[in-house]
Structures are given as structure tokens and as C-alpha cells.
Amino acid sequence: MKKLIAANWKMNKTAGESALFIGEFKKIIKNEKNADVVICPPFTALSAVSGELKGSGIKLGAQNMHFEDFGAFTGEISPLMLKELGCQYAILGHSDRREIGEKDGLINKKVISALKKGIVPILCIGETHEQRIKDETQDVLESQLTGCLKGVENISNVVVAYEPVWAISKGNPSQKAATKEDAEEAHLFIRKLLEGMYNEEAAKKTRIIYGGSMKPENAKELLAMPNIDGGLVGNASLNPKSFAEIVNSANK
């Protein structure tokens, strides 16, 4: 299985800055054929990035989406709008979205909608610092995974991103980074959950990627772990050189 390395730019980069990034990134990327690369810019830069990515093999993703195709949903973006721009992926259930009130039921609707439209959901799950110190990690992961995948029959069309909130700078008061062992333990647990929810073959085919402060310094060791199938990269994806280093470390 190819590694999947996705860049989540969050609320960063204008359309012009995004186009410049892609131009620079394409010049220095070396391992594109050995890893599936996805760029997820802000909605305002999707069109510009889509144009720059044409013919490159790099995929386009969105950072969120509404579950309805159209309607009176001020400020929202539908899956049909994303498809028209060439989006093949959408990040759903990110901790940034959960922090402002998104619940598993809403995320579940988005996952189902994305799958119906041929968009691959990158479903984010993960525990907070408080939940981790209370030893609630496994309960949280199981609750989020089962809630967000309710009614989803083909799990291999979903990417699961383990995103420990405590390992992200703004959600990490202790500043303790996740180790490769921390990450692998959670990924194995998620795979076992998927095996129980579906079957062993489906669980093996499902990409489970890591989303807790992956950077050039730790990418290689994280990506070498048997159950880590890629990364959802935040801050380190904002610089074309550092993001290229992470992509180039895949499958080494």
C-alpha cells in the first residue's frame, strides 16, 4: 500500500501564495510516485491550486464540506462544488472543527455524503490531553470511529487519520510530542476496531494515517511503523521544502 501524505494548510495562504507554493513544491518533490500526495488549501485557494496541480499526479483535497448538495446553508461548501474544482479528498472531523462544536453525528453525515459523490473522506479521530491522562484514549477512539462510520459499508474507501489533540502544539499544554510507539499503539488499536466492525481484509486495506505534529525530523520513523500508512501534516506542510522532505521520506 502506498503511503498517503496530505497537507492541511488550515487558514493559511492566499490563492497567489498557494500557487507559488505548488510551483516550488513540484520542482523539489522526488518521491511522488512512491506516495500519494494530497494538498488541502483553504476554500479560497482551491481553484488556483487545482490549476497548478494539473498533470502533476498530486491530488487536491478540501478541509471540510457540508453534507447537502445545495440549499440555504450560508457560508457552507457542498460536495458538488468541490467535485467541480477537482477535489478528490476532504478532511472531515478535524479537531479544529470538533473544538467549535461538530459532533460525530454531523461528521457521519459528511462522510456518507462524500462517499456518495466519489470524494475520499479523511476522517479524523483522536483524544484530548485531558482524555489521555484519564486513560480514556481507547474509549474515545472507539466512540468516534463507530459514530462517524455508522452506515458506511465500504471502509476501504475511507482514510482514517489518528489525530491526538495532545500532540498538536495548541492542544498540548505539556509539550510532550507523540512517540512512534504512542502512534503505532493507537493505529494498531484502530485497525483492530475496524477488523471487528468490518473484517480483517477490509481493515488491512484501510489507510490509517498519523496527524499529530509530523515533521521532517520524525516523519521517517513514524512512517516506518507497520500500521502507520501516511501522515496528515499541518505546520510542516506550509513550507514546500519541509513538506517535500516528509513526502520523500515515505517508503525509504
Report how far apart, in Å, the C-alpha atoms of 127 and of each of 11, 76, 142, 221 are: 22, 27, 11, 22
Active site residue 181: no
Per the residue annotation, which of 32, 52, 127, 163 is the catalytic one? 163
Please report how the helices 15-28 and 46-53 are oriented relative to each other, as an axis angle in degrees rounded to 10.
Answer: 30
Residue 125: partners with Cβ closer than 8 Å, 6 or more residues away: 93, 140, 141, 144, 145, 148, 160, 161, 162, 163, 190
Classify burial at 100, counting beta carbons within 10 Å of its beta carbon; exposed 0-12, middle 13-18, buried 19 or more.
Answer: exposed
Q: Whole-angstrom Cα distance, residue 151 to residue 129?
A: 30
Please measure the distance between the N-terminal and C-terminal CA atoms of the chain and give it in whole angstroms.
14
Which residues are 60's β-sheet partners?
39, 87
Other CB atoms within a 10 A radius of the CB of residue 59 amount to 18
Residue 126: partners with Cβ closer than 8 Å, 6 or more residues away: 95, 140, 141, 144, 162, 163, 164, 165, 211, 212
Q: Whole-angstrom Cα distance, residue 167 to residue 250?
A: 21
Per the residue annotation, which of 66, 94, 187, 245 is the catalytic one? 94
Active site residue 163: yes
- Provide the annotated active-site residues: 94, 163
